[in-house]
Amino acid sequence: QVQLVESGGGLVQAGGSLRLSCAASERTFMDSIMGWFRQAPGKEREFVAGISRDGSKTDVADSVKGRFTISRDSAKKTMYLQMNNLKPDDTAVYYCASRLIAFVHISRSSSTYYYWGQGTQVTVSS
């Protein structure tokens, strides 16, 4: 089956940390551009971070730069989002996503990602 599954969300106080994981069902996902998006209540889905096929390049949104780190482990078929110094504005449902393997560039546009996980809730209290 073709599937992405997020985990690691939860409730945390401002200033705390969480690590999100995105587990892929197939090895081929690790040959694809992948990224994290988030959607807050009443807001549009926005780009958080993207990572190249081999993990050597990343693109991180200005709103989380210096606080969030994206990484991937091909052997574990897993992508991660380490979130430090969390703020209430980070509260959202976080989604992992994968582009088709034919595409080789990191993209900030959600419409360019084909496979999506179910999302995991991150809530940061004041």
Among residues 114, 107, 118, the alpha carbon closest in space to that of 52 is found at: 107
**SS3 state at 53:** coil
**CA torsion sign, 25 to 30 to 33 to 39?**
positive
- 45-61 tens-digit pLDDT: 999 999 999 999 999 99
- 72-114 tens-digit pLDDT: 998 899 999 999 999 999 999 999 999 998 899 999 999 999 9
8 A C-beta contact, residue 35 and residue 22: no
Q: Identify the band that residue 66 occupies on the pLDDT scale cut at 50, 70 and 90.
A: very high
- 23-46 tens-digit pLDDT: 998 887 778 999 999 999 999 999
Say which residues have a Cβ less than 8 Å from residue 16's Cβ, sequence separation at least 6: 86, 124
Among residues 113, 48, 103, 39, the alpha carbon closest in space to that of 80 is found at: 48
